[in-house]
Amino acid sequence: MISVVVLTHNRLPFLRDCVESIRANGYADHEIVIVDNASTDGTAEAFRGSPGVQLLRFDRDRELAVCRNAGIDAARGDIIAFTDDDCAVAKDWLARIAADLKEHDAVGGVALPLGVFSPPRWWGDEINWLVGLSVPGHYGPQAGEVYLPASLNLAYRAPVLRALRFREGAPGLAGRNMTREDSDLWLRTRGGGHRTLFDPALVVYHRVPPERLTVPFCIRRAFSDGFAAWHRGEAGAGLRPALAYVFAQPCTLASRMIRGGGRPRAKEWVWPVRQAGLVWGGVVQRFAARAAAARDTAQAVPGILHTFLTILREAALLAFAWGLLKARGLRRPPPAAGGAPPGDGGNTATA
């Protein structure tokens, strides 16, 4: 059986379409696990008791990794798949997942636009990842290695997924869903020697609202992605090269424009923003570590002083006791060579 985990938050109309697209696959042996992340739009009431649906509900908004892990715990299938509430899956999605996982432990696929997708003139396909769509690299030889799948189109053998799980607690910025928990899981899967596959024929369709196709959203999204990447240990070469790139790339682009080299592509200005987020993540983490060390030191100082004062007190008491013993003559000196025994006062009979 395939368990399809769908996270949702206040998007009931989209969720209905998503569930219907899963059911339209005609794959009989499946269940749908809806994880309702504190919705207030009647989602729980709409799907409670729905055939073939398990409903989990959080009463307060939780991070996505926590919600996905709750779905894993509830799933009963030997395969666990993920998509999002604003997606519709292709008609062969479940059958293709089952076929792909006969020889692999994990599979990811592509995300194409659902409905009208009208990006602005400055847009480029290389930055589709900012709005949850696939980039050209997903159709090349580095798919699944450099260009990673997203949780809106991801499936695992259940035992492997239960052993790895989504790593919780990594911070994100500019939105609760920008924490790279899916990239982190995929990298750990590959690093653990599990068999992974990126299948470009495994397709979901993703809604992209117009407000995401704006410069402010893209800046926030790129910055947050870098911030989360640092906290998940995906820093690559480290902090200094990223910092050098952040400072050098804008100058390079400006110089090129001044020389008449043309307007930079979207990817060329988005990536420095992303790397700036990575640098910021490193800076914040280092300051936090130093602050924690300072707090630990501050907490240790009273203990150190207490121990030092205790030693001084015990030494003073021992010195006082020693002086008292000597003053009372309770400590007798050893007898001098050829002299009278101690206690006789030197009085001896004379001839």
Angle at 204 between CA 216 and CA 25, to 5 degrees: 150
Q: Find the range with the poorest average confidence among 30-39, 135-144, 228-237.
A: 228-237
Give the CA distances from residue 182 to residues 118, 161, 174, 298, in Å, rounded to whole numbers and listed in that order. Answer: 27, 12, 17, 39
Per-residue pLDDT at 34 exceeds 70: yes
pLDDT band with cut points at 50, 70 and 90 for residue 182:
very high
- Nearest-CA neighbor of 220 among 183, 251, 188, 174? 174
Residue 125 near residue 135, CB atoms below 8 Å: yes
Give the pLDDT of residue 53: 96
Per-residue pLDDT band for 43 (boundaries 50, 70, 90) equals very high
335 vs 16: which has the higher pLDDT: 16
290 or 211: which leads in pLDDT:
211
Ordered DSSP codes for 123-157:
--GGGGGGGT---GGGGSTTBTTTB---GGGEEEE
Would you say residue 351 has pLDDT above 50? no
Confidence at 318, pLDDT banded by 50, 70, 90? low
Mean pLDDT of the chain: 84
What mean pLDDT comes out for the span 261-277? 86
Contact 141, 134 (CB under 8 A): no
The pLDDT of residue 112: 98
Given a cut of 70, whether residue 348 has pLDDT beyond it is: no
Model confidence at 216: pLDDT above 80: yes
pLDDT band, very low/low/confident/very high, at 205 (cuts 50, 70, 90):
very high
Report the alpha-carbon angle 79-81-86, nearest 5. Answer: 165
- Show the CA angle centred on residue 162, arms to residues 161 and 167, nearest 5°: 80
- Percentage of residues in the chain with pLDDT exceeding 90? 58
